Structure formats: C-alpha cells, structure tokens
Amino acid sequence: MEKVNIGIIGVGRIGRLHARNLKYQIPGSKVLAVADIFEKSARETASQLEISIAEKDYRVLLENKDINAVVICSSTDTHAQIISEAAQAGKHIFCEKPIALDIDKIDQSITAVENAGVKLQVGFNRRFDPSFKKAKELVAKGTIGTPHLVRITSRDPEPPPISYVKVSGGIFLDMMIHDFDMARYLLDQEVVELMAVGSCLVDPAIGEAGDIDTAIVTLKYENGAWGTIDNSRKAVYGYDQRIEIFGSEGCVMVGNPTPTEVIINGAENTKTDKPLYFFTERYQEAYLAEMKEFIKCIQQDIKPSVGGFDGKISVQMGYAAKESLIKGSFVKIGK
C-alpha cells in the first residue's frame, strides 16, 4: 500500500506533535513538507525532523502535486479558508478544531470538501482516547442498560494567556467544545437543548476580556437523557479529565491517568501521583490514534469517524451556551 504524502500547515505545539507522530510512528505516512507564517519555525521543525521542504506560504504545499493530504494546525481564523483551498487542490484534510467560529464559513468549508470529493477529519482527539473509547463501546453494547445521566469534567491546570482568551471565542468555543463533542460521542445521541451558567473565579483579567473561566452546562438529549459538563480554567493539581455514564443497569466511569500506579499507604494518609499535567501528556495515545485513522481512511477510502458535521454541531452548541449564559434559560441547538 502506497504511503500518504503529508504537508503540515502550522508547526506550533500541536503541529509539531502531529509531525513527529506521522514521521516516526505511522509507517503509512511520509511528511514531505511543513509551512508556517513564522518561517523560522517551519525551517527549525523541518531541520529537526529531517523534512525536505519548509515554507512560509501554505499555498506552496497545496500546489505540490506529490502531497496527498494536509494537516491544518494553524490559527483558528485561517482554518476555513485553508480547508476550502485544500479541497479545491484535491488534498485530503485533517483540521484541528474548530473549523471556524462562523457557521457560514463552516458550511462553505464542508460544501467545498463535498464538491471536491476529498476527506475531512476534524481533530476531536478525545474520541480516540482508549479509555473514553471503551466507555462508549460499553454503552453501545448495552452494558449499563439505558443511559440516563452523563457527567463530563474538564479542568485545565492553568488558564491560557489573556491574549489568547481575547481571540479564542471564549470558554464554550475554545475549551468546552471538546466536551460538547464528547457528550454526543458517548451516547451517540444529539443534544437538543442546553443551559449554561458560569462566572469568573480564576482570573479577573479573563472577565475583563469578556469571558468566564468557570462554567457548568446542563444538556438535554433527544432521547430524554440528561448530561452535565463542568469546566474550570485552573485545577491546581493537574489536568482533570473524567467522565461518568449512569444507566438503568449500571454505571461506567473513567478517571484521570497518573504518571505511575504507585500507591503509598501510611499511618496518616494514602498518597498517589497527581494527574498528568497537560493535554499533550494526557492524550498522547489519542493524538497518535486519530492520525492513524486519518491515514487509514485515505488508504482504504473510508469516511472518517469525525467529520465536518461534528465540527459544525460542536460550534452550534458553543453558541447556544453563550446565548444561554446571557438569557439564563435553556436554548435549543442550532436555532
């Protein structure tokens, strides 16, 4: 089976992570080129990973006939345009979330992909976490009966820079967007309406930037089940990522992985390792698995399990949460 030749657009933290995975851990792929508006970053990454082509302008990658697919890891405001241009160039596309913060631009991107007949996979990496995936499979098999309640906890170890907060779209479109996707994924059910509450408890500067840093969202599923998501921008003990699905015949839970499984029992207390500190550590396996799926989908002509529709719905849920926070009431999704 022929290797898939990849061009990576944007080589910040996540772009370099994908580049390393594709280069060293996925035999079916070959990274031919990288591009970044900061040309120095592109050249440094290319040098470190022995990639032959480094460019400032991503369009050079789209014009390269040897490149079969692109991995888009640039800033959010560039995603939609690059997706459309890549589709027109006949490239298969992996794009980090969100596709865009504007629903019309998301629709335009999806249409471009459909018209070109190329594949689009959106980077909701948590679907590929082995524990979360197993929990979903157990629910689908009926192990816990009919699902009644879903609880999702997502708390970062530190808030992002204020400069990032100002352009991120806010906590619902930046941070909780992963949890919105996870809520749909775990039950394979759509959320029909939601209600959001929140405040600024971590850093006053986040509030001054027009955002909140602490939030709870209640979800109502189409089958009558309920869910809750809680987010905080700062958990002093590490990266806190947990789920629980409660059903008529039982409950499945996924806790936080730790660096080791060592437990120390003493006269005064019991000690274990704190959770892994950051998302690149917590979801190392998931990032690798999602990219393996992308390459497999291209090689075997399979539709990616998480695509443009999923990217759109998660953004619609984010806007519904923002509207609910203002109104203080439930808001229907996509209305």
167 pLDDT more than 90: no
Split at pLDDT 50, 70, 90, the class of 335 is low
pLDDT in tens, 108-131: 999 999 999 999 999 999 999 999
Q: Write down all domains in the chain, each with its CATH number in brackets.
A: 4-118 (3.40.50.720), 127-285+314-332 (3.30.360.10)
Supply the pLDDT for residue 281.
87
Supply the pLDDT for residue 278.
82
Residue 276: alpha-carbon gap to chain centroid: 18
Q: What is the average per-residue pLDDT within 153-162?
A: 95
Split at pLDDT 50, 70, 90, the class of 57 is very high
Handedness of CA 220, 209, 81, 4 (dihedral sign): negative
Split at pLDDT 50, 70, 90, the class of 313 is very high
Q: Are 148 and 248 in contact (CB under 8 A)?
A: yes
pLDDT in tens, 207-255: 999 999 999 999 999 999 999 999 999 999 999 999 999 999 999 999 9
Token pair 């719905």: residue: 313
Residues with Cβ within 8 Å of residue 325, at least 6 apart in sequence: 172, 196, 197, 198, 212, 215
1 pLDDT more than 80: no
Q: What is the average per-residue pLDDT within 78-83?
A: 97
The whole-model pTM stands at: 0.94
Split at pLDDT 50, 70, 90, the class of 86 is very high
Length in residues, the chain: 335
Token output for 308: 């443009």
Report the chain's mean pLDDT, rounded to a whole number. Answer: 96
> Phi, psi (5° rounding) for residue 55?
-130, 160
DSSP-assigned letters across all residues of 72-114: E-S-HHHHHHHHHHHHHTT-EEEEESPS-SSHHHHHHHHHHHH
pLDDT in tens, 18-45: 999 999 999 999 999 999 999 999 999 9
pLDDT in tens, 250-309: 999 999 999 988 999 999 899 998 998 888 888 999 999 999 999 999 999 999 999 999
Residues with Cβ within 8 Å of residue 228, at least 6 apart in sequence: 149, 150, 151, 152, 216, 217, 218, 219
